């Protein structure tokens, strides 16, 4: 189907074509109608923005709000709309100055210097996971054996969440991000996660240790800057944001490189190219299929189109990262490209807080894979791989590999 058939096509777009590329319709719209209406599940018609320059400008504009409590916020499913419980709204869904105050409580936790001090521990975790996967013999599921446990172990350690409980929160956090799940199921999962983290914060309050949740309790809850419930909400957001994202980015990166064997070979020969490759892979492979959600707080203009206060706006960073106006020959994967202007981590005040950590994890994972498993191959054809469609995070449920 071509976009010309519909003045406001249904969104999210169905994924026809190569699952490693943005939907064809998003690409068409970026070229022909870069700011256009789309139709959501509830019949509402927010704007979809697909060009790099327009999204950058929009993300700098304080009139565009991230506040889910504002009328007109573009929820992507009934589950997402109903599951936004007051207590679990944290700064990612707030505007300044509320956003600034909460984000500031965590900035010290994620500064580059602190993250760099974790690099050698992350390298050790990477090696231990690969040792175990390789000892089990090929084929193995790279997602289960490596891509998921790595960020999960790291964020658990940072927060002070027992990793033994990962199956409990992983299944629930996957459900929370599944836009096709029933609202009741999502609410139950969110409630259970909130209770779990609430209880954990309670334990830390009686016996604080050197971890992020303890610091939130001691420095923010006890002096009265946050309630216990807000501490649990913040921890929950970090737990979800901290592992599903990086895990899927690792898996998609490996798959993309395997589909461009000359790029994989280049990295095996020159592992010093890994940091540049990570930026290029973040650009080329988008794990945020639906884009960033905003609502206009006041009348404004994006790319010459008038947006009225109260109208929803979806900023599709995946399409922007393949915009030929921003990147030469954008569909080509080139690990030597200078891709630093990509928007995989967003832009503006909400730009990803965890990006220094994500970068270290991605660099460490890829360096170890090209060094230790240069003969890595995907064990199934692309059509048989289990892609994760229909959620807020795109990726793979499993990735069978051989070496």
> Which residues form the interface with ligand HEM (CB under 6 A)?
66, 91-92, 103, 155, 237-238, 241-242, 245-246, 249, 287-288, 292, 344-346, 350, 352-354, 357-358
Q: What minimum distance in Å lies between the beta carbon of 91 and ligand HEM? A: 5
* 30 in Cβ contact with 323 (< 8 Å): yes
Strand pairing report for 387-388 and 312-315: unpaired
Number of C-alpha atoms within 13 angstroms, CB side, residue 72?
A: 19
Q: What minimum distance in Å lies between the beta carbon of 137 and ligand HEM? A: 29
Q: What minimum distance in Å lies between the beta carbon of 139 and ligand HEM? A: 25
Q: What minimum distance in Å lies between the beta carbon of 4 and ligand HEM? A: 30
* 194 in Cβ contact with 232 (< 8 Å): yes
- Residue 282 pairs in a beta bridge with none
Q: What minimum distance in Å lies between the beta carbon of 64 and ligand HEM? A: 10
C-beta of 3 vs 102, nearer to ligand HEM? 102
d(CA 184, CA 334): 44
C-beta of 220 vs 237, nearer to ligand HEM? 237
C-beta of 354 vs 400, nearer to ligand HEM? 354
Burial (CB count <10 Å: 0-12, 13-18, 19+), residue 264: buried
Q: How far is CA 348 from the centre of its chain?
A: 16
Q: Which of 174, 173, 112, 126 is nearest to 154 (CA)?
A: 126
Residue nearest to ligand HEM according to CB distances in the complex = 354
Q: What minimum distance in Å lies between the beta carbon of 44 and ligand HEM? A: 18
Q: What minimum distance in Å lies between the beta carbon of 138 and ligand HEM? A: 26
DSSP state of 41: T
Angle at 100 between CA 95 and CA 106, to 5 degrees: 125
C-beta of 3 vs 156, nearer to ligand HEM? 156
Angle between helical axes of 261-269 and 355-372 (0-180°, round to 10): 90
C-beta of 9 vs 74, nearer to ligand HEM? 74
C-beta of 116 vs 269, nearer to ligand HEM? 116
C-alpha dihedral, 120 to 170 to 245 to 349, nearest 10°: -100
C-beta of 271 vs 354, nearer to ligand HEM? 354
C-beta of 3 vs 190, nearer to ligand HEM? 190
Helices (H), 226-269: 228-258, 261-269
Q: What minimum distance in Å lies between the beta carbon of 6 and ligand HEM? A: 26
* 325 in Cβ contact with 51 (< 8 Å): yes
d(CA 87, CA 78): 19
């Amino acid at each position: 189907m071509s976009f010309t058939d519909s003045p406001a096509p249904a969104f999210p777009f169905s994924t026809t074509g190569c699952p490693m590329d943005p939907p064809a319709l998003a690409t068409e719209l970026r070229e022909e109608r870069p700011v256009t209406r789309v139709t959501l599940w509830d019949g509402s018609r927010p704007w979809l923005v697909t060009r790099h320059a327009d999204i950058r400008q929009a993300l700098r504009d304080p009139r565009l709000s991230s506040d889910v409590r504002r009328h007109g916020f573009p929820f992507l499913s009934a589950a997402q709309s109903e599951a936004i419980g007051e207590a679990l709204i944290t700064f990612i869904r707030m505007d300044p100055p509320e956003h600034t105050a909460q984000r500031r409580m965590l900035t010290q936790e994620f500064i580059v210097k602190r993250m760099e001090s974790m690099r050698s521990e992350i390298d050790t975790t990477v090696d231990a996971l690969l040792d175990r996967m390789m000892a089990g013999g090929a084929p193995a599921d790279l997602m289960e054996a490596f891509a998921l446990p790595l960020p999960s172990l790291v964020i658990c350690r940072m927060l002070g969440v027992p990793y033994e409980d990962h199956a409990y929160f992983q299944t629930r956090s996957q459900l929370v991000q599944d836009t096709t799940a029933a609202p009741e199921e999502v609410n139950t999962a969110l409630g259970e996660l909130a209770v779990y983290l609430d209880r954990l914060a309670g334990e830390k309050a009686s016996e604080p240790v050197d971890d992020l949740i303890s610091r939130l309790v001691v420095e923010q809850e006890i002096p009265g800057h946050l309630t216990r419930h807000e501490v649990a909400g913040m921890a929950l957001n970090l737990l979800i944001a901290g592992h599903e994202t990086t895990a899927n980015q690792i898996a998609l990166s490996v798959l993309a490189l395997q589909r461009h064997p000359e790029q994989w070979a280049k990295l095996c020969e020159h592992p010093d190219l890994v940091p540049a490759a990570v930026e290029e892979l973040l650009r080329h492979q988008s794990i945020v299929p639906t884009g960033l959600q905003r609502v206009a707080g006041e009348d404004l203009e994006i790319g010459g189109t008038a947006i009225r206060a109260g109208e929803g706006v979806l900023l599709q960073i995946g399409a922007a990262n393949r915009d030929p106006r921003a990147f030469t020959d954008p569909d080509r994967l080139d690990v030597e490209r200078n891709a630093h202007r990509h928007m995989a981590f967003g832009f503006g005040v909400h730009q990803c807080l965890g990006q220094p950590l994500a970068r270290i994890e991605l660099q460490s994972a890829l360096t170890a894979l090209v060094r230790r498993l240069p003969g890595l191959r995907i064990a199934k054809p692309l059509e048989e791989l289990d892609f994760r469609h229909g959620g807020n995070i795109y990726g793979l449920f499993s990735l069978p590999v051989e070496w």
